[in-house]
Amino acid sequence: QMYGTHVQADSVEEEAAFPPNFSVSEIKNKQRRHFMFMKLKQEKRKRKLELKKKRKKEREALGDKAPPKEVPKTIENQRIYDETTVNPEDEEVAFDEGTDEFSSYFNRLTNPKVLITTSDRPRGRTVRFCEQLSTAVPDSHVYYRRGLALKRVIPQCISRGFTFLIVINEDRKVPNGMVLCHLPNGPTAHFKVSSVRLRKEMKRRGKDPTEHSPEVILNNFTTRLGHSIGRMFAALFPHDPQFIGRQVATFHNQRDFIFFRFHRYIFKNEKKVGIQELGPRFTLKLRSLQKGTFDSKYGEYEWVHKRHEMDSSRRKFHL
């Protein structure tokens, strides 16, 4: 049986004269309630379509005089202006970056050499992730951790000429953290790793990456902190990409999450490009940036993520 009264459009608008309307949620019978809710949604959709048609007609009628289409608001559009955003012509920041810990890489004095390891006793997924990561980063070596303390590993790495140390932390058989340490005396970044996809889980992937050095794309690292992290990622790869290999590694920063993708591209003609995704895919979120090599207890932190202070606004980002 159907309920007697209907929700009419007129009565909704003249609310002052009529007694308050019933709301769909007050019907106790689940079937009837569901039916009334479906009816409500259909009417709402109908009204929305009519409004849209009306607006489109008006726009066509006005022709050239029509007001420009409004840009929808997105969180990236509404981002709070960060005062640490780097101005490309700023001399002081340019000097700071020219003489920081990565200056030896960017002045072409050293070549990157990466050591990849994990936390103690890694499971299969993490081991495979490390192997695939080492194929993506040229001149990288994977070593088994063997329960060694990082503070003792680091001087040995420095003596053997490594420039970067990557430690993938594993929890419950899945990689969930990454410590990226620039070696001679450089900053240590601690990331949270999520959404790891190994090669066999990728759809429509290409063949395994070759030994050619990939090109590196760093997207959207605008603030001063973002610049430091972006330079850190850039210093992982050799200076000159080998374009014969047609491989590209992308670090895309959006809303403080850094997405890593590894592709092979081919130009079909001047305007069309085909890309194949190879290689592992993961997302990173920066937890802390520490000045100096890995020393979580006594090191000085340049930036620490403090959830309750920094994550209070949905439109404020730090990278």
Q: Write out the binding residues for another protein, residues 215-234 only, by CB under 8 A.
A: 224
Distance CA 125, CA 175 (A): 8
Which span sits near another protein by CB under 8 A: 65-73, 87-95, 165-173, 207-215?
87-95
Distance CA 318, CA 221 (A): 9
- Using the structure block, give the residue that is written with the tokens 């709301």: 23
CB count in 10 Å sphere of residue 192: 15
Show the binding pattern over residues 46-85: x = contacts another protein (CB under 8 A), - = does not: -------------------------------------xx-
User: CB of residue 290 vs another protein: minimum separation in angstroms?
Assistant: 9
Distance CA 66, CA 213 (A): 51
Beta carbons of 214 and 247 less than 8 angstroms apart: yes
The first and second tokens of residue 8, run together, are 């009419």
User: CB of residue 1 vs another protein: minimum separation in angstroms?
Assistant: 23
| Binding footprint of another protein, residue count (CB under 8 A) | 22
Q: Which of 23, 29, 42, 99 binds another protein (CB under 8 A)?
A: 99
Radius of gyration of the chain measured on its C-alpha atoms: 28
Q: Write out the binding residues for another protein, residues 282-311 only, by CB under 8 A.
A: 291, 297-304, 306, 309-310
Q: What are phi and psi of 123, to 5 degrees?
A: -90, 175
Residue (58 or 311) nearer to another protein, CB: 311
Residue (213 or 253) nearer to another protein, CB: 253
Which span sits near another protein by CB under 8 A: 32-40, 88-96, 108-116, 140-148?
88-96
Distance CA 285, CA 283 (A): 7
Which residues bind to another protein, rule: CB under 8 A? 83-84, 90-93, 95-96, 99, 224, 291, 297-304, 306, 309-310
